[in-house]
Amino acid sequence: MRSDTIRLPAHAPGMEGHLHVLRFGEAGARPLVYVQGALHADEIPGMIAAHHLRERLLALEAEGRIRGEIVLVPFANPLGLNQRVLGGMVGRFDLADGANFNRLYPHLTEVVAERVGGLLSDDEAANRDLIRDALAQAADEAEATTPAEHLKRALLRLAITADVVLDLHCDSEAVMHLYTLTPQAEDFAPLAALLGCEAVLVATESGDEPFDEACSRPWFELKERFPAKPIPLACLSTTVELRGQADVSHELAAADAGALVDFLVIRGAIEGPAPQVPPVRCEPTPLAGSEPLVAPVSGMVVFRRAVGERLSAGDVVADIVCPATGETFPVATRSDGVLYARSGTRFASAGKRLGKVAGTNLQRAGKLLSP
Ligand SMILES: [Zn+2]
């Protein structure tokens, strides 16, 4: 294992942060795999899975079984890790401006299209290499002023040339699920099966440029932009939601790291016998069909259904109880589907999102992710 650190500016002199980057296998070998944990700094399941993955990769490297290069950033957001408010940790949003640490990554398609447009040929591998170089250059040149922008640019630069990107997150309370680009769902089916995903949410554009799409979507868009030239979807990228925030244990994390290793065997980054892949537990569903359940009024939240339960349209998922009047407002789903995530707090203001159902009958448009 080789390790290095990338210095990050901070809001005050003397407070600089560092990204710790661990590299396994031979520098420059392919496939290049990029894995990061806890981009939302308070999502520890990804960080503990990264810890167990490091142990596995050290052992595999000692056995000479790393075939590609695997880059692991075990905690991707030192800025967020350092944010405290009255004893609580704030890891999802930058306290400086409220920006979500997993939104608004540089969108590189335009600048890359301009650079490579006249240079593309009928050789797919040559086009892939040309686009990769242009993406790396564009990521290097992306504007960054605030500490969070510097962090985002540094992470994107590490991942943008990878063959496989695994961004490890979790939800508030949730069962295992993942998000990916629609045309990549099939490639991620083995990972979804190995992890035991209960939902796979797909979109060609989720809105607001999350990290995984900043890595994968330029390929999809360049392919559409230049239909006469062979362009592969050369970066397979996903956001993996490792259950809920409190689901932190060595047993779960070791199993999750094992699933990631098995997937990397399938992708040819690790040498080993083909793993046994269990049957998938769900079919991919459109992110546009994922139903956010919203509190109609303020009040106490009393859930009636647990995460992982399969619901029918009309099922009551929670009651909102007004502590002043005693009135109860049932919150029902309009979709059939799995309740794959729900809020961890038990008091809601009107409009708060209480949960998410992986349905198929809604057709939402615009920005599809939670704030
Ligand atoms: Zn997250």
251 C-alpha to ligand 1 centroid (Å): 21
Structure tokens at 306: 């647990």
Measured CA distances, 193 to 74, 139, 310, 336, 358 (Å) = 23, 33, 18, 22, 17
Q: What is the rounded CA–CA span in Å between residue 157 and residue 8?
A: 13
Residue count (the chain): 371
**Closest CA relative to residue 134, chosen from 149, 153, 119:** 119
The beta strands (E) that lie in 248-288 are given as: 284-286
Measured CA distances, 179 to 128, 240, 258, 269, 309 (Å) = 24, 7, 20, 22, 19
Q: What is the rounded CA–CA span in Å between residue 57 and residue 298?
A: 48
User: Region 263-292: what's the mean pLDDT?
Assistant: 97
State the pLDDT at residue 370.
Answer: 83
305 C-alpha to ligand 1 centroid (Å): 23
Identity of the amino acid at 197? C
**CA-based torsion, 56, 61, 62, 65: positive or negative:** positive
Measured CA distances, 371 to 92, 98, 100, 308 (Å) = 10, 10, 7, 22
Q: pLDDT digit string (tens) for 344-358?
A: 999 999 999 999 999
93 C-alpha to ligand 1 centroid (Å): 10
Give the 3-state secondary structure of residue 37: strand
Q: What is the rounded CA–CA span in Å between residue 91 and residue 42?
A: 5
42 C-alpha to ligand 1 centroid (Å): 8
State the pLDDT at residue 254.
Answer: 98
State the pLDDT at residue 249.
Answer: 98
* Residues paired with residue 321 on neighbouring β-strands, in sequence order: 300, 328
* Residues paired with residue 174 on neighbouring β-strands, in sequence order: 341
Q: pLDDT digit string (tens) for 199-209?
A: 999 999 999 99
Asked whether residue 222 carries a pLDDT value surpassing 90, the answer given is yes
79 C-alpha to ligand 1 centroid (Å): 15
Please give the backbone phi and psi of residue 167, each rounded to the nearest 5 degrees, phi first.
Answer: -105, 110
**Closest CA relative to residue 357, chosen from 175, 100, 195, 166:** 175
State the pLDDT at residue 236.
Answer: 98
Confidence class for position 361, pLDDT limits 50, 70, 90: confident
Q: pLDDT digit string (tens) for 143-190?
A: 999 999 999 999 999 999 999 999 999 999 999 999 999 999 999 999
User: Region 25-53: what's the mean pLDDT?
Assistant: 98
Q: What is the rounded CA–CA span in Å between residue 54 and residue 58?
A: 6
Please give the backbone phi and psi of residue 184, each rounded to the nearest 5 degrees, phi first.
Answer: -105, 0
Q: What is the rounded CA–CA span in Å between residue 22 and residue 72?
A: 5
Enter the DSSP assignment of 97. Answer: T
State the pLDDT at residue 106.
Answer: 97
Mean pLDDT (the chain, rounded): 97
Angle between the N-to-C axes of helices 44-62 and 250-266, in degrees from 0 to 180, rounded to the nearest 10: 60
- Determine contact, residues 186/270, Cβ cutoff 8 Å: no
Please report, for the chain, the start and end positions of each structural domain, with discontinuous segments joined by +: 2-282, 286-358
Mark residue 130 as left, alpha or beta (left: phi above 0; alpha: psi -120 to 50; beta: remaining). alpha
39 C-alpha to ligand 1 centroid (Å): 7
35 C-alpha to ligand 1 centroid (Å): 14
| Domain 286-358 in this protein, CATH class | mainly beta
215 C-alpha to ligand 1 centroid (Å): 16
Query: What residue has token string 């981009």?
Result: 39
Confidence class for position 72, pLDDT limits 50, 70, 90: very high
Q: What is the rounded CA–CA span in Å between residue 215 and residue 52?
A: 25
101 C-alpha to ligand 1 centroid (Å): 9
State the pLDDT at residue 134.
Answer: 98
Q: Which architecture does CATH list for 2-282?
A: 3-Layer(aba) Sandwich (3.40)
Q: pLDDT digit string (tens) for 318-341?
A: 999 999 999 999 999 999 999 999
Structure tokens at 173: 């309370």
State the pLDDT at residue 365.
Answer: 86
370 C-alpha to ligand 1 centroid (Å): 10
Q: pLDDT digit string (tens) for 89-142?
A: 999 999 999 999 999 999 999 999 999 999 999 999 999 999 999 999 999 999
Q: Percent of the chain, pLDDT > 70? A: 100
Confidence class for position 261, pLDDT limits 50, 70, 90: very high
Q: Percent of the chain, pLDDT > 90? A: 96
366 C-alpha to ligand 1 centroid (Å): 20
Structure tokens at 158: 């590490």
CB-facing half-sphere around the CA of 137: CA atoms within 13 A: 13
